Amino acid sequence: MRIFGRRKGISWRAISEKALAQCLGQPTLTALSATILIRRRAYYEALEAASKDSEITPWLGWFAGIAIEAQRRTEARVEFLIDKTRLEDRLRGQLNERQEKALVRMLREGPEGFKGGLSAGNYAAITGASAATSTRDLADMVAKGALTRAGERRHARYFAGVLLRPASPVTLDERGDLH
């Protein structure tokens, strides 16, 4: 019988979240399952290592690190949502349909941001705009503070006008100490 992992439809991630909620006496606002999913390979490696012997201290250390990282991820998400709402409120009625569509698409990526930034070509693909219209729309969005620009000409990339705060990962050193 396996002690850890998934057996007969049991999700230890779900059980962990349920146990945390019961311990606190209320639903938790953490990204535990999402964080474990992002760190899936390390999760399965830690489970496998813990299943090989009866020493669970390394597993508990790893899980504590993931719980801390999940809390950081949750805080980053909440701060991002607040900043996103402020940006959308400030820009209400100032953007055209194409610009709104592109901004919504970028903000959907969350605190980690739109990977690599938005190019004029990406903007055209998202909105269906011509190259000239894309360039004008992007310049207007930068002027209004909806986007920030990095690079020049073909290498220009645009990023959402909110502060991105990706969650920093928690790691364990060879002694099992959290960092």
What's the CA gap between 98 and 67, in Å, rounded? 39
pLDDT of residue 9: 43
Region 6-21 average pLDDT = 61
Half-sphere exposure for 129 (CA within 13 Å, toward CB): 23
Average pLDDT of the chain, as a whole number: 82
For 142, the enclosing helix (H) or strand (E) is helix 131-143
The structural domain count of the chain equals 2
Q: What is the CATH number of the domain that holds 134?
A: 1.10.10
Residue 4 lies in a domain: no
Both 134 and 92 in one domain: the answer is yes
Banded pLDDT at 177 (limits 50, 70, 90): low
Banded pLDDT at 1 (limits 50, 70, 90): very low
Region 92-96 average pLDDT = 95
Region 39-49 average pLDDT = 84
What's the CA gap between 67 and 151, in Å, rounded? 37
Strand 147-150 and strand 157-160: pairing? antiparallel
Tell me the C-alpha to C-alpha distance, in Å, between residue 32 and each of 19, 25, 152: 12, 17, 40
Both 69 and 91 in one domain: the answer is no
pLDDT of residue 171: 73
DSSP readout, 70-102? HHHHHHHHHHHHHHHHHHHHHHTTTS-HHHHHH
Q: What is the pLDDT of residues 108-146, one digit of tens each?
A: 888 777 788 899 999 999 999 999 999 999 999 999 999
What's the CA gap between 85 and 83, in Å, rounded? 5
Q: What is the pLDDT of residues 69-85, one digit of tens each?
A: 888 888 888 888 999 99
Region 156-172 average pLDDT = 78
Both 16 and 59 in one domain: the answer is yes
Write out the residue range of the structural domain in which residue 44 sits. 12-76
**Are 32 and 64 spatial neighbours (Cβ–Cβ below 8 Å)?**
no
Residue 5 lies in a domain: no
Tell me the C-alpha to C-alpha distance, in Å, between residue 95 and each of 6, 59, 91, 119: 48, 50, 7, 18
Both 49 and 96 in one domain: the answer is no
